[in-house]
Amino acid sequence: MNTLSHGKWGEEVALNYLLAKGYTCVSTHIRSRFGEIDLAVKDKEFIVFAEVKTRKNSNFAQAREFVTKSKQKKITATANFWLSRYKTKLQPRFDVIEVYAPDGEETINPEIIHIENAFGA
């Protein structure tokens, strides 16, 4: 399994998790000259921009550790670009969703850790 397909699979798992929690999908794979955002979903008063990180396990490091300050700046700039084009009264929030799949795409019940407001101070 290559990393690209593994990442896309993880994004689909994360989106299905969010939908089951009552979120509504707004967009996927948002791209700008600044960077990209995996998922944009609505949850009551928030427009949530989510970065999904898929790993087999957390032995080396937790997946959230790969969302560096530099990556956060790119996601924030892309979100601001998106928000300038698609007006909303919803408050933006930045989440990280970790998907741990020890058997890759064959994993029956991947572990999902949803970190809300992950870029908060």
Q: Stretch 90-101: mean pLDDT, rounded?
A: 94
Rounded Cα–Cα distance for residues 43 and 119 (Å): 17
Enumerate the H helices of 1-121 as residue ranges.
3-20, 69-85
CATH 3.40.1350.10 fits 3-115, yes or no: yes
E strand segments, the chain: 24-31, 36-43, 46-55, 91-100, 111-115
Cβ atoms 76, 30 nearer than 8 A = no
Q: In whole angstroms, how far apart are CA 82 and each of 28, 98, 112?
A: 12, 23, 26
Q: What is the pTM of this model?
A: 0.88
Average pLDDT, the chain: 88
Of the two residues 105 and 61, the one the predictor is more confident about is: 105
Rounded Cα–Cα distance for residues 60 and 103 (Å): 16
Enumerate the domain spans of the chain. Answer: 3-115
Predicted confidence (pLDDT) at residue 5 exceeds the cutoff of 80: no
